[in-house]
Amino acid sequence: MKLLKFVVVAFVFTILALVYIHLQVQIYDLGYKGEFKKTELQKQNDINGYLSYNISRLKSANHLGVKLLGNHSEMQFLDNNHVVKIKTPAGLLKSESALSLRDKNKAEGLHRQNLLAGVFSLRSQAEAGSIK
């Protein structure tokens, strides 16, 4: 009877030890997988940075100018003989310098008025409710 009890206790203890070891192995495995994912994510971020830099460099004005106006390019600037001049009504050609001082002051006053109206607006008051 004692031998049977000892075998059962040893069997249960062995099963519990195997389950514990299996859980510990899973913990280490998940840790290594997390580290691998972290390094892979860092590599992907680095590649993304390199690609973003290359794209911005290819879109830069200097790069486009070198490519478009290079030795083997057929592009060229137009001279004055090939420029078309169009006459437009004088009302459409209002530039910043054509605005009078009075119009500038009026626009500046309107901006100040909008700023003050935004700060001191007549909205409903905020009310705090009681917690029941």
Domain boundaries, the chain: 2-64
DSSP letter at 131 equals P
The DSSP element (H or E) to which 66 belongs, if any, is: helix 61-68
Closest by CA position to 69, among listed 80, 57, 58, 77: 77
CA-based angle 109:114:115, to the nearest 5?
95
Looking from the CA of 68 toward its CB, the CA atoms found within 13 Å total: 11
pLDDT at position 66: 76
pLDDT at position 85: 73
pLDDT tens sequence for the chain (132 residues): 799 999 999 999 999 999 999 999 999 999 999 999 999 999 999 999 998 888 888 877 777 777 777 777 676 666 777 777 777 666 555 554 444 555 555 555 555 555 555 555 555 555 556 665
Inter-residue contact 74 to 80 (CB < 8 Å): no
Q: Say what the pTM is.
A: 0.39
Inter-residue contact 111 to 104 (CB < 8 Å): no
pLDDT at position 82: 74
Inter-residue contact 31 to 25 (CB < 8 Å): no
pLDDT at position 15: 97
